[in-house]
Amino acid sequence: MLQINTVSITISNISKSYKKVNALTDISFEVKEGELFGLIGPDGAGKTTLFRILTTLLFADQGDATVAGYDVVKDYKQIRNSVGYMPGKFSLYQDMTVKENLNFFATIFGTTIEENYELIRDIYVQIEPFKKRRAGKLSGGMKQKLALCCALIHKPKVLFLDEPTTGVDPVSRKEFWEMLKRLQQKGITILVSTPYMDEAALCDRIAFIQEGKILEIDTPQAIVKHYPKPLYNVKANNMYALIQGLKAYEHHYSVYPFGEFVHYTDKRTDFDSSDLNAFLESQGLKDITIEPTAPTIEDTFMELAK
């Protein structure tokens, strides 16, 4: 992989509050040029507020930020020329066709579809069969692709994507991430936010954000190493009784349902699964299995957010 060290986005000590609520508290991090950086956190964590500060739509109460070398307050005009932004809500003109939308955004950025066609070709060919259809009549995945084309049409240096895959079906989500990977190859810095932990693994680096605070920043591979304890998959015949049983076990540290399993950690360093097994059996559970498992990004997030 290409090694690039130039910084594309810097955020230092940014804070922002609305009335009484602190939306962002002392946020600092950097995004390198050409990086695919994920901002991972639930609704209301402050992701959209941070995006709006970086895209010059909001003032921070405190702190500084630069995008592509420009200050978000002083040089807002230059930033508006050099970034692409896809807000969380589908923000295109529903009453205009695919082609008209794209043409419009090309025009207001002072360019044409032909000029930067190379950049959007991969994506555009997928929606081209529908170019005469009004944007409001497209499926969720198609809308997402069109919005991405519109955000890319002026060849931005930095792309801001605020929850681009919310409400989109898994197939379109997968295709969308594949497109982001290809864009990254073309040297565009991408800051993307998502509430889905499984998408975090697709980023170069991720920042966990919750209640306006950054919990951790690292690569997806490294971030799971921050998980402090051995983790176990526990399974039994009755899910509800199993959760209650594990919570009743005096040595439990954390108990979280995780699909068909329960993810369990123990307070002790010398955890013995047979003791837990016996305890659960005494609670009337059957078919118990306890196996070590590797922590996921989601486990790490929960541990840090605790």
Partner 1 sequence: MTNELVIQAENLTKTFGSFTAVDAISFSVRKGEIFGFLGANGAGKTTAMKMLIGISTPSAGKATVAGFDVSSEAEKIKKNIGYMSQKFALYDDLTVKQNITFFGGIYGLSRAQIKLKTAELVEELDLKEVVNQLVGALPLGWKQKISFSVSLLHNPKIVFLDEPTGGVDPITRRQFWEMIYKAANNGTTVFVTTHYMDEAEYCDRVSIMVNGKIEALDSPKNLKTQFGVENMNDVFLKLARG
Partner 2 sequence: MKRFIGFIKKEFYHIFRDKRSLFILFGMPIAQILLFGFAITNEINNVDIAVLDHSKDVTTQEIINKISASKYFTIETFIEREADIEAVFKKGKIKAVLNFEKDFGQHLITDGFATVQIITDATDPNTANTISNYTNAILQNYQQEMNKNVKLAYQIVPQTRMVYNPELKGVFMFVPGVMTIILMLVSAMMTSISISREKELGTMEILLVSPLKPLQVIIGKVVPYIFLSIINATVIVVMSIFIFRVPVNGSLFLLALESILFIITSLSLGILISTASATQQTAMMISLMGLMLPTILLSGFIFPITSMPLPLQVISNIIPAKWFIIILKGIMLKGVGISFLWKETLVLLGMTLFLIGLSAKKYKIRLE
Site for partner 2, rule CB under 8 A: 52, 55-59, 76-77, 79-81, 83, 85, 87-96, 100, 103-105, 107-110, 150-151
Question: Taking the complex as a whole, how short is the minimal distance between the CB of residue 62 and partner 2, in angstroms?
Answer: 16
**95 vs 198 by CB, closer to partner 1:** 198
Q: What share of the chain is helix, strand, coil (3-state, %, to 5)?
A: 35, 30, 35
Question: What's the start-to-end Cα distance of the chain, in Å?
Answer: 35
Question: Taking the complex as a whole, how short is the minimal distance between the CB of residue 163 and partner 1, in angstroms?
Answer: 9
Question: Taking the complex as a whole, how short is the minimal distance between the CB of residue 142 and partner 2, in angstroms?
Answer: 17
Q: Using the rule CB under 8 A, is 45 a contact of partner 1?
A: yes
**58 vs 243 by CB, closer to partner 2:** 58
Cβ neighbour number for residue 270 with a 10 Å cutoff: 5
Q: What's the CA gap between 102 and 285, in Å, rounded?
A: 60
Query: 187: which 2 tokens?
Result: 């040297």
Q: What's the CA gap between 90 and 208, in Å, rounded?
A: 24
**52 vs 263 by CB, closer to partner 2:** 52
- CA-based nearest residue to 29, from 185, 198, 191: 191
**150 vs 290 by CB, closer to partner 2:** 150
230 binds, among partner 1, partner 2, none (CB under 5 to 8 A by kind): none
The β-bridge relationship of strands 231-235 and 261-266 is antiparallel
Please pick, from the candidates 18, 59, 117, 196, the single residue that binds partner 1 as defined by CB under 8 A: 196
What are the residues whose beta carbons fall under 8 Å from the beta carbon of 252, sequence distance 6 or more?
Answer: 246, 264, 265, 266, 267
- Positive or negative torsion for Cα 237, 241, 243, 247: negative
Question: Taking the complex as a whole, how short is the minimal distance between the CB of residue 96 and partner 2, in angstroms?
Answer: 5
Question: Taking the complex as a whole, how short is the minimal distance between the CB of residue 56 and partner 1, in angstroms?
Answer: 26
Per-residue H/E/C for 135-168? HHHCCHHHHHHHHHHHHHCCCCCEEEEECCCCCC
85 binds, among partner 2, partner 1, none (CB under 5 to 8 A by kind): partner 2
Question: Taking the complex as a whole, how short is the minimal distance between the CB of residue 107 and partner 2, in angstroms?
Answer: 3
Q: Using the rule CB under 8 A, is 167 a contact of partner 1?
A: yes
Q: How far is CA 29 from CA 12, 37, 251, in A?
A: 7, 11, 37
Site string for partner 1, 240-269 (x = CB under 8 A): xx-x------------xxxxx---------
Question: Taking the complex as a whole, how short is the minimal distance between the CB of residue 304 and partner 1, in angstroms?
Answer: 11
List of residues contacting partner 1 (CB under 8 A) = 41-45, 139-140, 166-167, 169-172, 174, 195-198, 210, 238-241, 243, 256-260, 298, 301-302, 305-306
